[in-house]
Structure formats: structure tokens, C-alpha cells
Structure 1
């Protein structure tokens, strides 16, 4: 049970931005999860910093989220404070080739709007779901390109609630990684240095990428994106995770309201009422079956949020609950 005093203190920091008992199955991209004790959506960087400052002195768990495109919540709920960087922090300004986007701006809409303004270099990210803050944190993109190439600086709030701007050299970008991962800092805006281009050509490139994704991925059902990470050693011998799962005969396998997608086996989709247990049981089955048939162990890209706010790769939770599960043997 959350202390009512905490709710009052949060409301002082973020007026009109605090709710209790929010059902994460209605908010999360995967549509999975129970009620969050407290849900906070600040609308300024200073409010985000204030929440971090307060929570650094509190015992209750705090988790910062964006669009939740690569995580899912325990169906029993979350017994802490969820701080969402979303639509209230999504303003964008353009000055020549320099763009400043608040962290809650959605990537597909941002990339398309910039393309229409004749600014390119990040069209590869036009089909990537989520927010620009999450994209920068993970140095995300497609076609083995990363947004970091075009990031000039970011504004962050550290876990103590102190604001600072970090230039690109200090962000330590590498493939799908940045120095900010795991250090508890929250990205509040990203300053991008882009390239001039022809709007029609940029939009055509984006449309082609989106069409390709729609043809390959099950975008019509809630999901958390690619479930398992690609391992270069496994890729060379067996192929990517989706191929390994399909070869193991698991494509289309259903558990409760969750299913290994018949369209792409490295996606687990929510058929309508999936729980975290449903997804985790499919994760355990796929991992154990592929290990048994190939000798390779697949680790998860998607992460699970426990009731206490503990954020872990989904396979760690699945292994704890069902270390040797294979649903096809029932």
C-alpha cells in the first residue's frame, strides 16, 4: 500500500499529472499488466527532476517508462511509482539542421515530420516504435544504423534529480548501446544534427521501411517487438532466433492469451487477454526447446517488470518460474 503522503507530495510536484491504480494492461504496448500504485506524467523537465529528487529519499520503488515497447508488467500489478515520459513531454523545435525533441516524442511521427521538413539521416528509424528518449538510450534504429550518429547532445536528470546536458562524446554510443543505460539517468530531450534532403525521397524511404516491417512483423496485435536477442555465433550456424524457433516447430504455439506469432516466430503476441505468465511460459518453452535442439541458449531482449519494480530480461524470470518447461510435451 502506497503512503497517501507520497501521493500528496507528488501532486505538489506535478499538478494534474498523478493518478493511482492505473491498469497497465490499458497503458502498455503489450497490453499486459496489473494496476500501478501511482502513475506520474510530468509535463516539464523540472517536474521530472523534482520527482526523481523526491523518490531518491523514499523507500518506494520507482520505474521510469516511455512507450513500454520492449517490456511487460507483472499481471499482479506494480507496487510503486511509475514515472512516464510521454505525450506531455513531446515538443519539438527546428533551427536549420538542428532539432531539439523532448524525450516523449514518438519516433515514427517525429521522423516523418522531419522528413516533410527536408531533414534526413534518421529515416531508417521511421518504422521503429517508441519514443526518441528510448531510441537514444538504446542507440536504436534499423538496417544496423543507430540514432547516435546524429545526436549532438541530450538533457538528462540524474537519479538525484540534477539536470545536466551531455554532448555526444560523453554518451559512449556503440551498437544498440549508450553510456546512459543502467546509470539511472532519465533522458529529457535530444538535440539532433541532421542532413538536408528532398522531402519526397525521404518520405518514400520511410514508407518503404514501414511496408517492409508490416510484411514481416505482426504489427496488428499487441506485442513487445523481438523477444530474443540475435547471437552472432548462433546466427552463423542456426540462423536468427525466429528461424530457430520456427525450425523447432513452435511457430503458432499458444498459451492462454499469448501466442508465438505465426507471422514471425521471434514475436509473442497478445491475442486479447494475455498475462505475464502466458508470455513467460512461451519464453521458457522456446528457450528450452531451441537449447535442446541446437545447443544454443537464447537470451531475451524484452524485459519483465516485477511487482517491486525489478526490471529483468524476461528469460531470467521464466527460468526461475519454469526452469525446464516445454509446453508441447503436455
Structure 2
């Protein structure tokens, strides 16, 4: 267990004097309302803060966990032994480069980004208007909706590595693929993103976004805590079997309960917390659903969500489920 002694705490507070929280509680803050606590969390306001935190963490061999709004993360139920770096509203400033190009800090709330672009007549990312989370997380997973992705409009991405060095990558260097980027496999903090859009009509853009939000409200569960879509919609699989929710429903999992977690009766690609759900409940459902759908279709669903273990390491949900099974049998 890492010791967060007074010296460590004081140094982090010097770097982020107004943005440090002790005993950071994931269960009260994460979208799934699941998880334990971390000893210390910092909310940097500038790139310099992030550089200083990364260098300090490296020098004292302190594990770090980078989070945004936690909209696609599942946390271990016990203590998460890492320094949490949370990018949020304090680190969300946009800078207009020209009429169709903008640079935005990674802590920006994604629906707010969509609204900012609409107000400035910068079209192409209306489809992100209903996606919860921060811009850095969206770029890391090359997220989007309606089978589109933000990577289509990325010009450059700036990040800070574990040594505190700043790196700028072009879109090609980001290695964007469907719901994936190079950042998913790197220990780097995305700090800002430059986007290039097309000129659009703000009125039409606003109507498009309203239609998208209306559709999401009708289809997706909103009353119980959840992390959105659990499994990715593979374009190749979609043509033969349809979206993941339909595949899961045909396999008989819609409405199924495991502990405090349930496959949503409204949309089978959502797992909701009915009250008191634990991480193992969600991972157990994910593992059994994947196996059941594979038995029926020959296709292994790939989870969108990621699991944070007690050491602050981040795994895909299927990797985490496999580790749970191995530990239980060992």
C-alpha cells in the first residue's frame, strides 16, 4: 500500500492549492455509483499543473489515475491506492484558431463542447451532444454516436507523459480506429485537442442536436445509475446481427439481475445499479453476457467500459473479468 504521508499531501497541495481532495469517494461521484475511495485527488487548472504533478509522481514513484467525469469507468469496491488526477471544468478553456478550427482543453464537458461548436456555426460534431464525459476521455476512446467518431475531426492532440514531457500528435499519429486510439495503451494525460469542423447553420445544428437528445431520452435508461453503453457496436458485426443491445436481448439477458446490478429492461446494452451494486456484480454480468452471445453468434462483444483496480491500474472490463475468474479459481 502506498503511503500518502504529510509530505506527499503538502507537495500536491502546493501544486494545486485550491483543487485537492482527501478520501475521494468514487461511489458518490462515479456514474455507476460504485467504488471505494482514493486517498488523494487533485484537479489541475493548467497544463503546468499537470506537468508538475506528473513529474512529482514519477520522482516519488506514486501511481496516478487520470479521470474525467467517470462516465465509462467501473471502480474497485475497496481503496484505490493511487493519486487521482481529475480533469474537469477548471481545465476546459476553448481557443478559436479560425472560423472552423478550435483548440479545447481536455476537461471540457462533451455536451458543452457540442453546444459551443453549435453557437459558433462549426458543424460536424453534433452527434456528441448527448455523450456524458470529458473531451479527453472521448478522444482517448475515439468516441461518438450514430456510428461516427470524434477522430474524424481531430487535427492534433497534446498530451503529457509520465516524465512530464509534452507531446503533440497529428491525427494520423493518434492511430484512430473504431472506439480506439493510441492513448488507450499509453500512460499519458491528454491536455488539449485541436478540432477542424465545417461551416454550418447554428439553427439547423440546434435542431439536429435536439432530435438526437430526444431520441436518447426515449431509448436509454436515465433513472438508475449507469455508465451508458456497456459494449461497443462493431460495424462489421452490426450488419449481420444488429446492435449489441439486440444481440444481448436475443440471448435472453434483458432484465437479468446479478446482486445489485441489472441488465436494463429498457435497453439491454445498459447495466444499471438497482442499489448496492458492487463491481463484481457488473463484471460477472459482462463476462456471462459475452460468453452467452458468443455461444449464440460466434461473436465476442467488446466492452466500452474500463475497470480501475485497487492499484489504480485500468483494464478493459473483459480483462478484469478474466482476472477475477483466475483469482477465484486460484
TM-score w.r.t. structure 2 length?
0.90
Q: Give the SS at the match of 1:31.
A: coil
Aligned length in residues: 324
1:188 to 187, 191, 197: 191
Alignment RMSD (CA, Å) = 2.1
Deviation at 1:54, TM superposition (A): 1.2
Q: Distance in 1 between matches of 2:179 and 2:292?
A: 27
Match of 1:39 in 2: 41
Cα displacement string for residues 30-72 of structure 1 (whole angstroms, at most 9, x for unaligned residues): 2111111111111111001111111122333211111122111
Match of 1:63 in 2: 65
Deviation at 1:205, TM superposition (A): 0.8
Q: Distance in 2 between matches of 1:114 and 1:136?
A: 16
Cα displacement string for residues 5-26 of structure 1 (whole angstroms, at most 9, x for unaligned residues): 2112211211122221111111
Match of 2:200 in 1: 197
Match of 2:149 in 1: 146
Deviation at 1:239, TM superposition (A): 3.7
Match of 2:90 in 1: 88
Q: Give the SS at the match of 1:12.
A: helix
Deviation at 1:289, TM superposition (A): 2.9
Q: Distance in 1 between matches of 2:79 and 2:269?
A: 26
Deviation at 1:319, TM superposition (A): 3.1
Match of 2:254 in 1: 251
Structure 2 CA distance for partners of 1:129 and 1:252, relative to 1, 3 Å: same
1:222 to 220, 225, 230: 225
Match of 2:118 in 1: 115
Cα displacement string for residues 187-225 of structure 1 (whole angstroms, at most 9, x for unaligned residues): 111122222211110011111111222222213322122
Q: Distance in 2 between matches of 1:175 and 1:302?
A: 14
The answer (yes or no) to whether the contact 1:2–1:79 under 8 Å persists in 2 is no
Structure 2 CA distance for partners of 1:57 and 1:240, relative to 1, 3 Å: same
Task: Name the stretch that deviates more: 23-32 or 144-153.
Answer: 144-153
Q: Distance in 2 between matches of 1:109 and 1:72?
A: 24
Task: Name the stretch that deviates more: 39-48 or 289-298.
Answer: 289-298
Task: Name the stretch that deviates more: 235-244 or 9-18.
Answer: 235-244
Task: Name the stretch that deviates more: 39-48 or 61-70.
Answer: 61-70
Match of 1:273 in 2: 276
Structure 2 CA distance for partners of 1:188 and 1:129, relative to 1, 3 Å: same
Q: Give the SS at the match of 1:301.
A: coil
The answer (yes or no) to whether the contact 2:16–2:49 under 8 Å persists in 1 is yes
* Structure 1 gap segments, 5+ residues each: 326-330
Structure 2 CA distance for partners of 1:25 and 1:162, relative to 1, 3 Å: same
The answer (yes or no) to whether the contact 2:179–2:232 under 8 Å persists in 1 is no
Match of 2:160 in 1: 157
Match of 1:73 in 2: 75
Q: Give the SS at the match of 1:225.
A: coil
TM-score w.r.t. structure 1 length?
0.90
Cα displacement string for residues 113-151 of structure 1 (whole angstroms, at most 9, x for unaligned residues): 221222211112112221111222222222222222222
Structure 2 CA distance for partners of 1:269 and 1:132, relative to 1, 3 Å: same
Q: Give the SS at the match of 1:289.
A: helix
Deviation at 1:171, TM superposition (A): 2.5
Q: Distance in 2 between matches of 1:240 and 1:192?
A: 29
Structure 2 CA distance for partners of 1:147 and 1:214, relative to 1, 3 Å: same
Q: Distance in 2 between matches of 1:72 and 1:170?
A: 29
Structure 2 CA distance for partners of 1:208 and 1:232, relative to 1, 3 Å: closer
Q: Give the SS at the match of 1:25.
A: coil
